[in-house]
Structure 1
Amino acid sequence: MTDLPHYTEYDTRLAAYAVIRDDDGRVLLALWNEGDQPRWTLPGGGVELAETVEEGAVREVLEETGYDVRLDGLLGVDSFVFSPAQRSNGSERPLKAVRVVFAATVTGGELTPEVGGTTDEARWFPLDEVRGLPRVSLVDVALGYLAAG
């Protein structure tokens, strides 16, 4: 057994994201502005204490894109560990990010950028352009789920 930290010695963040494609096969991404440089990510984010993962995904998509969505199913669950040096909040504890990824469909609303949040733009991209974008690793994880599905 390796000498890994006990679960009380690191932080955990539960987050929910949506892969949303339109009729032309484009994917909706949001521009995350909290890192060292802006990078594209899936719409989504932290799940609040009193909400389900599904409710969190729907709320986050609305906040970051202006769209109401219907969740169409679970694509996968991914975990990623951030060292204290990788964290943007100055914490000296590692962080285990548990990222739940859903497929979703737009049911209403209008594309609107988030104001005062962790993203400041949302845009549709053809799938073949995504690999050339500055993006977070979760985008590749989610596109892998789609390809395997």
Structure 2
Amino acid sequence: MEFYDYDTRVAAYAVIVDGDRILLSWWNGEGVGTPAWSLPGGGIELEETAEQGAIREVREETGFVVELTGLLVVDSHVVAPGDRTIETDRWARHLRIVFTARVVGGELGTLEVDGSTDRADWVPIAAVPDEPHVGLVEVALGAWLDRRA
């Protein structure tokens, strides 16, 4: 399959850790899927850089203003036409750029308006494996833990 035969979605996310807890957003499963924890972040706008998109998305989903502290991992995820949130016969590649970040302002609690997340919260890192979560959380948390080792 050639690159023009499928759709591409570029999204940016942030891993924000405070002590032994990580900031996660609750993806409401709108369209398809079961609600689960995800990283704060999402699709970047055409005029944004990945960094700008990550900062905006974190603010929208959590209420926090963040400063990015580094690139953590770039992940690619392929989605079949029947698993997409829109009706289409085209495959999709989701390119997910994950940064590390730290909170520099704002407060937890702002809810995204008409978005795919309902809330955000600090979740103990040790509890993440037992909580419902999307695959991106495993990818990013694994990369973060490897970096610390």
Taking structure 2 as the reference length, the TM-score comes to: 0.94
| Partner in structure 2 of residue 118 of structure 1 | 116
Measure how far apart 1:36 and its partner are.
2.5
Measure how far apart 1:109 and its partner are.
0.3
| Partner in structure 2 of residue 59 of structure 1 | 56
1:32 aligns with 2:27: yes
Unmatched tracts of structure 2, length 5 or more: none
Measure how far apart 1:115 and its partner are.
2.8
| Partner in structure 2 of residue 10 of structure 1 | 6
**How many equivalent residue pairs?**
144
Taking structure 1 as the reference length, the TM-score comes to: 0.94
Q: Which amino acid in the other structure matches residue 4 of structure 2? A: T
Q: Which consecutive segments of 4 or more residues in structure 1 shift more than 4 A? A: none
Identity %: 53
Measure how far apart 1:13 and its partner are.
0.4
Q: For 2:88 and 2:15, locate their aligned partners in 1 and report how far apart those are by CA, in whole Å.
A: 30
| Partner in structure 1 of residue 145 of structure 2 | 147
Equivalence map 1:123-134=2 (5 Å):
123-134=121-132
Q: For 1:93 and 1:39, locate their aligned partners in 2 and report how far apart those are by CA, in whole Å.
A: 25
Q: For 1:133 and 1:91, locate their aligned partners in 2 and report how far apart those are by CA, in whole Å.
A: 31
Q: Secondary structure at the match of 2:130?
A: coil
1:93 pairs with 90, 93, 96, which one?
90
Greater alpha carbon shift after TM alignment, 116-125 vs 56-65: 116-125
Q: Which amino acid in the other structure matches residue 30 of structure 1? A: S
Q: Which amino acid in the other structure matches residue 127 of structure 1? A: I
Q: For 2:20 and 2:12, locate their aligned partners in 1 and report how far apart those are by CA, in whole Å.
A: 22
User: In the TM superposition, what whole-angstrom CA distance separates every residue of 1:36-58 from its partner, at most 9, and x where no partner exists?
Assistant: 32111000000100010000000
Aligned residues: CA RMSD = 0.9
